[in-house]
Amino acid sequence: MGKTITWSNVGPLTSGSSTFIHLIAYVDGDQFGLLTNHVNTTGITVNSQTVTDNTTEVVEALYNPDVVISKIALNDTVEPGENAIFIIKASNPGNVPLPTVKVVDVLPIGLVYVSDNSTPPAAVSGNLVTWNNVGPLAAGASKFIQLVAKVQL
């Protein structure tokens, strides 16, 4: 909900002069997107005549976080003892950066972790392969991980 801020007297202003007010406002709660700020002014001349003006300014409050994960197999069929290679893509389609992005892959029974191309490599515990932070991911950015897993004999 909007809030009204009033400055009782920013004058006097001589003919042709101006004054500047620097206002810093923070996004309140879940408000994001295009936000319109309204401002108006009233001046009173030395002979008590009233003059007014108003304007608006639109700002975009950038707060729309999002993350998307996808995974594809580079080789659709593998024999026992061979490696299956997967590409995992973590993407930030939102409009704010994500400093931390955790990725967890659950390997099915029959596949055993061999390696990945991340630095540092994933932490492996049983069938859980965890990258605690593949970020930071800037808005619109993606990170690719190549995961190699061997088909058990």
The pLDDT value recorded for residue 13 is 84
From CA 87, how far away is CA 70, in angstroms rounded? 8
Residue-wise pLDDT for 125-148, tens only, equals 999 999 999 999 999 999 999 999
pLDDT of 6 > 70? The answer is yes
- Give the pLDDT band (50/70/90) at residue 2: low
CA-based nearest residue to 72, from 55, 84, 60: 84
The pLDDT value recorded for residue 149 is 97
What residue ranges define each of the domains in the chain, with the CATH number in brackets? 1-62 (no CATH), 68-151 (2.60.40.290)
Please confirm whether the linkage preceding 12 is cis (ω < 30° from 0).
yes
The pLDDT value recorded for residue 109 is 95
% of the chain exceeding 70 in pLDDT:
97
The lowest-confidence range among 28-32, 68-72, 104-108, 140-144 is 28-32
CA-based nearest residue to 146, from 120, 115, 125: 115
- Give the pLDDT band (50/70/90) at residue 28: low
Residue-wise pLDDT for 77-113, tens only, equals 999 999 999 999 999 998 889 999 999 999 999 999 9
Q: Which two tokens stand for residue 79?
A: 């024999």
CA-based nearest residue to 57, from 44, 38, 72, 43: 38
